[in-house]
Structure formats: structure tokens, C-alpha cells
Structure 1
């Protein structure tokens, strides 16, 4: 049993290691940072908020993950990240429009 598990980890994390796996890890870390930003900002004010940086990390991580998914030909990640990017850009556009209306925002 342990030999089979060891072999699986070896194949996944050593044999398959290449530039695109590194790219995928960097993308995932960037994507995860949006939650760190949101958590820290919420803790500072004592309520749940979503700062603008959350959406920028969402776009950066989502774009990198979409690239990774395209290279790896993963239809689940392609669909998920593709739709996500549309939503992230839309949220930034809504924030931009609101700021234009209210200069004190």
C-alpha cells in the first residue's frame, strides 16, 4: 500500500514536474492570495469586505490558471476560469462606474 502511494506521489510531483506545473503552482498561489487579501482586510475592519485588490488577484490568478488549463487541455478548468474571468472583470467595471459617480467613494 505504502509503495503504491509513494509511487503515485513520485509520478505526480517528480516525474510530471515541468515548466507548466511550476506555472500552475504560481497561478494557484496568486489565486489563493485573493482570499488572504480579503481575510486581512475584513479582520482590520471587523466585518466582511471585498477590497479591489481581491479582483486584481482574481484576474491575475484566473488568467494564469486559464493558460495552464489550455496547455493541459483540461475542459473543466478552461470553462471555470474562463467564466470566472468574465465575472472578475465585470466586478471591476462596476466598481469603476460607481467610483466615477461618487468621487468620495
Structure 2
């Protein structure tokens, strides 16, 4: 039984990572790396500030990684990725809009030097 399980896992890994290897798989992995980089940015910004923060770079990486992953899902015809990334990317764009609006309001309210 254990030998069969090992052979099944080996066959699965071979099918997913060798048989299906192409430029789109590389693009999808790159998309995940960009998307994952946002957590490193958020973590480092929070460590520097000594509190939890979401820097603007986090949202830009979210948008870039989300759009890349959406393209990957569209090309691969994977509905779970398509629905998830379409909604998520809209939320990331909305957060950037709110941050930029807040910054403009703060600049407008700041006294002139």
C-alpha cells in the first residue's frame, strides 16, 4: 500500500510538473512569486514601524500578481483562479484608490509652508 501511494504521488508530480511544463507554467510560477512578494514587503514595513502596516507597494504587488495570475487562469481555463483573481484584483484597485484619495485630502488640508 505504501509503495502504491509513493508511485501515485510520483506519477502525479511527474504529470503536473514535467508533462505539463511549458512557458505558461513558468509564467504562472512567476505570477505566484510576484504575488507572494507582497507579504515580504508588508512584513518588512511592519517590522520597521513596530506595528502592522500595509504599504502602498503591497497593493501594487497585489495588483500585479493578481493580474498575472488572472491571465494565467484565463489561458489555462481554470474557473476557480479566474473568479478568485478577478474579484481580488478589483479589491486591490479599490484599496489603492482609497489610499490615494486619503493622501490627496491630507495634502490639501496641510498648512502651506
Normalised by the length of structure 2, the TM-score is 0.88
The residue number in structure 2 matching 1:74 is 78
Note if 1:60 corresponds to 2:64: yes
How far is 1:100 from its partner?
A: 0.8
2:19 aligns with 15
Aligned match of 1:6: 10
Unmatched segments (≥5 aa) in structure 2 = none
CA distance in 1, matches of 2:75, 2:17: 18
Q: Structure 1: give runs of 5+ residues left out of the alignment.
A: none
Moved over 4 A (4+): none
Matches within 5 A, 1:44-59: 44-59=48-63
In structure 2, how many angstroms separate the alpha carbons of the residues matched to 1:99 and 1:6?
52
Q: Count how many residue pairs are aligned between Structure 1 and Structure 2.
A: 104
Residue 28 in structure 1 maps to residue 32 in structure 2: yes
Name the larger-Rg structure.
2
Specify the alignment match of 1:96 in structure 2: 100
Counterpart in the other structure of 2:88: 84
Aligned partners of 2:90, 2:13: CA distance in 1, in Å?
Answer: 35
Q: What is the CA RMSD across the aligned residues, in angstroms?
A: 1.0
Structure 1 residue 4, shift from structure 2 partner: 2.0
